[in-house]
Amino acid sequence: MVIVYHFPDSVKQYITAVPFPGRTFALPERCPHPECRAAQCLIRWGSYKRGALTTKSDDCVRVQRMRCKVCGRTHSLLPDFLHPYRHFVVSLLHLVVSLYLIRGLGWGRLMEQVEEMKDLPERGPARSTVREWVRSFAYGTGELLLDLLTRQLMTLDPLAELPRVDTPPPAHGDDIPNSTKQRRLHPVGHLRERARRFWYLAEYLYALAKVRKPDLDFAAAQFFPFLLHWLQTLAVPPRLFWSPVLATTPSTPF
């Protein structure tokens, strides 16, 4: 299993840190596997390298592996600038999805924006990769996670009137590039409308969390990392992107 932990600095700072942050980050108190949950049983169990790709560099980072002494399962401590099973950094996933889903750019203009960010033509995601990101985000949030998020918001504030997609976004969105304040809707299907609804309600969740916990160590630009941690606290796999074509993707909502 993957355990996401908060790393507020840049990928470069993570790479140059000695020892690397996963080596010094406190291990969870319990085994994360639901069939175990043994306490004080995790030990560090080596590390491995994985990609942390942007439009400007192809970096590799070391990821700490840990092992449960009770059940024998191994787990990974993943910094939250990475998404499980995605080699491009979360900030790029955030930007691309917001350009299409929130600002409403078509594929041509969206890819023009991506190309402008590249240092070299061969760097950055291909058009097919960008399309897969949007489809996977739409399925993951619109089909699997929207009802979960709605239930969570009603639990936090049962009397709240949840915001509509066509109402102004909360003030914290001022700091998010391409936030819903710049919305120009692009025609999308029902599932992507639900994904847009998820995004908007997730911003509302972020605003509620900042009010309840002013010292919350997530800047507005770390919206996706915040959501990965939110899912993890609910014992849901910390993933926002679920490819609908993979056999391992859930077919029913959480």
Q: Tell me whether residue 246 is in a domain.
A: no
Query: Quick check: 80 and 174 in contact, CB under 8 A?
Result: no
pLDDT tens-digit map of 114-132: 989 888 777 889 999 999 9
Q: Tell me whether residue 254 is in a domain.
A: no
pLDDT tens-digit map of 161-209: 776 655 544 444 444 444 333 333 333 478 888 999 999 999 999 988 8
Q: How far apart are CA 181 and CA 179, in angstroms?
A: 5
User: Does the pLDDT of residue 67 top 80, yes or no?
Assistant: yes
Q: Tell me whether residue 167 is in a domain.
A: yes
In total, how many domains does the chain have? Answer: 2
What's the CA angle centered on 208, arms 218 and 191, to 5 degrees?
90
Q: Tell me whether residue 84 is in a domain.
A: no
140 and 106 within one domain: yes
Per-chain mean pLDDT for the chain = 86
Of 4-13, 40-49, 155-164, 193-202, minimum mean pLDDT range: 155-164
113 and 212 within one domain: yes
Nearest by Cα to 93 from 46, 50, 140, 28? 140
Mean pLDDT of 244-248: 92
What element of type H or E holds 148?
helix 146-156
210 and 130 within one domain: yes
The pLDDT assigned to 165 comes to 56
Residue 55's domain spans which residues?
Answer: 2-79
Domain boundary among 52, 79, 106: 79
158 and 124 within one domain: yes
70 and 177 within one domain: no
206 and 146 within one domain: yes
